[in-house]
Each structure stands twice: as structure tokens, then as C-alpha cells.
Chain A
């Protein structure tokens, strides 16, 4: 599987898992859990795809993890801002930014570790 696709899949799965943890971390939002999981998955898919595109020729795993962190962090900021403003709760900043940022490192790492780098053709 090429790296952008790998990033997309891993990002989607981890995004869904991360969204699902809101069940515990934000009990007041349990009735909105489906929307949170879908939104988080979508964010994970986008973050994974962007990470996969950036790291498609990368050889360094730590660097790939760093790319994942940065991408996830940047994507999480506007979502955290919207939620924090809408619910008037500043704690959403770190609740929404911090965990996915760590998952971003995971996405970057796994994408480079298991994704096929660009420019390498499959044997006939």
C-alpha cells in the first residue's frame, strides 16, 4: 500500500478511536458521540493523507512521526477553536489538540514503517 493511502487508512482508524474516547473524557457530550467520531475520523483521514503525501519518500521514522505531529496539531487547532468558542469551554483546547497530536506521531510512524515509498515499482 502506498504511503498516502496507508496514512489515510491509519488516520481514519485512529481518528475514529480518538473520537470514541470522548465517551470517557467528555461525558457531557455522549449524546453527540456519533458526530464526534465521524468528525474525528474525517480529521484523521485528512491528517493521514497529508502526512502520507509529505512522507512518501522519507526514510526516517522519527522525522515521519514529527511530520505527523505537526500535521495533526495544525488540523486540530481550528476544530479546538470552534468547539471551545461554541461551548465556551477553554479546556477543549487541550482536550481536542493534545491526544490527536500524539496520534499524529503514530500515523507518521506507521505510514513510513509499513507504507511503500514513492518511486519504487512492484516487481513484475
Chain B
């Protein structure tokens, strides 16, 4: 008896996994996938719009996974903010799998955006918006735990959306684990992403980063246990990489944001200002106690840097202080000097 080929097996699996969410939603095509499930573009016939529909794979649809999915949807739905992808609906397929629908985001992923925009001011403005969304989540007791350029979308009108709250942790004790999401596909360009899962390979209309993948343990239950590592290497704070669940708090996201900022500085190139480097160093301190206390403090320091004000993370010399003030008020200083020069000329000429 001959075995089935890999292609055939994959096809059969896809057919079996294809969701049938009822009359309201018509599933059109898969747009992203992970180890635990897939995200599809679906048509909402009731509201006549396209949505993203996230559903678990059939093979991963145990009660724990379903509970995690509902929990993830609830946490996500609790975060109503312009910088966070909104959840529309949650339900069950005929085969019992849990699904939820959310806004179908159109835009460019931050890693692609960073390649296209190397102006530091633009990138810092985007960064501040990411901070706004994350600070909002923190204010609601939710830690993202997987912040990275691949999980941020920049829309055509400059809107910034933080996605993939699948491994988010609530400080109250509840957790939403998206499970393993390690499958990757890659090309460059635009992406219609949902929840930050991996876009399908071979689909040229979407992008996937070549960056590091989210690491997670598919065996974890609805609650994360000590020693479980969730996150993305390169963006994970040391306490997160060590699986030190007890120490994960807002500062874990501060670390990831610091790494995103470091990526911006690298993309921009040139010699960055010392204050900006100090700011990044403070955000990415190995010891959480030495980092910014929260995202708000980090965002404030970034705003100060942008406005030419003093950055808390950097102790400047008297010369640097004078140079910064001079640069900040360069226009009025130049005008005063020009006026003084004219007055001096008039005075000298009047005396002759």
C-alpha cells in the first residue's frame, strides 16, 4: 500500500481545517497561519464587510485550546483603543472549534515600514503611537509580551495598530495563550494581517518578516507556568527569556519597545545622539528595576527627545545642555542676533 504524498496530506488537512462559521460569515481565503491555527479573510454578509476570522486548527482544538482562544478574545475585546485591532465577534464552528472575528487590517508591517521610512522623526512618531496603545493595555492590566515590528501595522493614513495579543498576560492572573506560532512564510510588501499570525507563503500581496519567530510551548495550558518561555528572541526581556513568570510586568514590554527603538536607530543609520542611545539603554536594561517604570515614562522621554527637551535617561554635560537649548531655540536666537546686528550697523553708520 503506497503512502500519501506530503502535498496530498497538506491538502487534505487544509480541506478538513477549512472553517464553516455559519451563514453570516463566508470564509474566502487563509491570510495567516500559526502552529495552533489560522487566520482567514472572511466576508461578513450581515454587515457587508470583510473581516479577519481566527480559528484553531482541527488538530489543536482540545478544550484547553478552546478556553485559551475564548480568553484571548475576551482580553483582546477588553482593549478598546484606536491603536489595538478591534474584535467583532466570537463563536463556535459546527465542528466545535472556537473562532473570533476582528477588523481586517490593511497596511504595512512595521518592519517593512522601517525599511521604507528612514526618517527618525517619522519613526519616533510611530513609536509614540505604539506606546499609547501599549500603555492603554497596561492601564487595563494586560502585558503584551510579544511586541516586535512584526506585530505592529502602520496604515495608509498613519494609523498604528498593535496586534497579536495571543500571548498576552493579565496582571490579575488571567492569561491568554495563543499557543505555538512558529510557522513562517516570507516575502516583502504589504500585509493584511490579523493577530500577527504568519501570512501564507507564496502570496505576494502579503508580507512576512524574516525576523525571529515567536517562541512558545504548545503544551502549555490556559495558564502559564514558571519556566514557560513565550515571546520572540531578540525582543524578549531577560526575565521573559528565563521563563521567570513572576517577574513579568509592564517593564517586560518596555524592554521590547526599547529593542524596537534600537531597530529604528539602526535603520536610520548615522551617528545617533547620545541621549537617544541612553534612552534605549535605559529601556533595555537587563534588570527590570533599572528600566523605565512603565511605557508612559518611556514615551515621555521619547517625546522630550523629539522636542529637544532634557531626556531623563541621560545626564548631559553643561556644553551639551547649552547646545541643546541653542538648537531648540535656534530660530528666535537667530532672529535676535540678526536684529542686534542690524541695530549695531545702524548705530555704527549713524555715528559716521
Q: Output the least CB separation between B350 and chain A (Å).
A: 6
Residue B335 lies at the interface, judged by CB distance under 8 Å to chain A: yes
Residue A95 lies at the interface, judged by CB distance under 8 Å to chain B: yes
Contact B338 A102 (CB under 8 A): yes
Residue B342 lies at the interface, judged by CB distance under 8 Å to chain A: yes
Known contacts A26-B350, A27-B350, A102-B338; is-contact A61 B331 (Cβ 8 Å) = yes
Q: Output the least CB separation between B306 and chain A (Å).
A: 16
- Interface magnitude class on chain B: 10 to 19
Q: Interface stretch among A36-44, A49-57, A73-81, A104-112?
A: A104-112
Looking across the interface, which residue of chain A has its beta carbon closest to that of B341? A102
Contact B343 A106 (CB under 8 A): no
Looking across the interface, which residue of chain B has its beta carbon closest to that of A100? B339
- The secondary structure that dominates the B interface is helix
Residues of B within 8 A of A105 (CB): 335
**What is the bound-complex CA distance between A61 and B335, given in angstroms?**
13
With contacts defined as CB atoms under 8 Å apart, how many contacts are there between chain A and chain B in the complex?
37
Looking across the interface, which residue of chain B has its beta carbon closest to that of A103? B339
Residue B346 lies at the interface, judged by CB distance under 8 Å to chain A: yes
Q: Mark B314-352, 1 if CB is under 8 A from A, else 0.
A: 000000000000000001100110110011001101100
Residue A8 lies at the interface, judged by CB distance under 8 Å to chain B: no
**What is the bound-complex CA distance between A109 and B338, given in angstroms?**
14
Residue A24 lies at the interface, judged by CB distance under 8 Å to chain B: yes
Known contacts A26-B350, A27-B350; is-contact A21 B335 (Cβ 8 Å) = no
Q: Output the least CB separation between B343 and chain A (Å).
A: 6
Residues of A within 8 A of B350 (CB): 25-27, 91, 95
**What is the bound-complex CA distance between A2 and B242, given in angstroms?**
55
Contact A102 B346 (CB under 8 A): no
